Amino acid sequence: MKTYVTYGFFMALGGFLLALVLYFLGFHSDAAKYSSIQIVNTIALIAISVAVIALGTRARRADVPVTEEFGYGRALLAGFLITLFACLFGLITNFLYFQVINPGISEVIVQSQLDKLEAKGVTGARLEQAEKMTRMFMKPAIFTIVGFLGGLFWGTIISLIVAAFMRRKAVEVPVAA
């Protein structure tokens, strides 16, 4: 359990540090800057997740004796539990970021979404309806739940892939006669 908690903590910490770096570089201050960095942010979060899940799964595999199989199911479970703890720690780091460090980020996200819709030609009542829906998802409880479930979903997808590379067959150890 210690392995899962440790690597889950580091995964959440990596995401939090990335958010802080983007915040201090000014990318979370207005909608245009926020939109411009989203692809880089997503790629960086995926890279952090893959690296931490792979390292954590490898650490868990190292705890299992070589005489025991560390199959796909065990590797997947390790990745999923790392993701679960990362999402739990992420609840704390997201709350800290959204409520204490950068309480204006919700408005930046809403404006970013509206700008994207306007660029696609959405206007009038449809734009107002989209704004109302986006603001509903920016409420702390809903945003937290959606973030938690989204993190679990994508972390599980990454774990499914990483597990294919982390499995290990049992090795027979010859008995001395």
pLDDT digits (tens, 9 = 90+) for 56-66: 999 999 999 98
Q: What angle do CA 86, 89, 92 make, to 5 degrees?
A: 145
Residue 177 in this model has a pLDDT that exceeds 70: no
Task: Write the pLDDT tens digit of every residue in 91-144.
Answer: 999 989 988 999 988 899 999 988 988 888 888 888 889 889 888 888 877 888
Distance of CA 71 to the CA centre of its chain: 25
pLDDT in the model for residue 137: 84
Residue of 101, 118, 93, 155 whose CA lies nearest to 35: 118
pTM of the model: 0.88
Token pair belonging to 140: 């702390």
Q: Which residues pair with 168 in a beta bridge?
A: 70
Residue with tokens 């696609």: 120
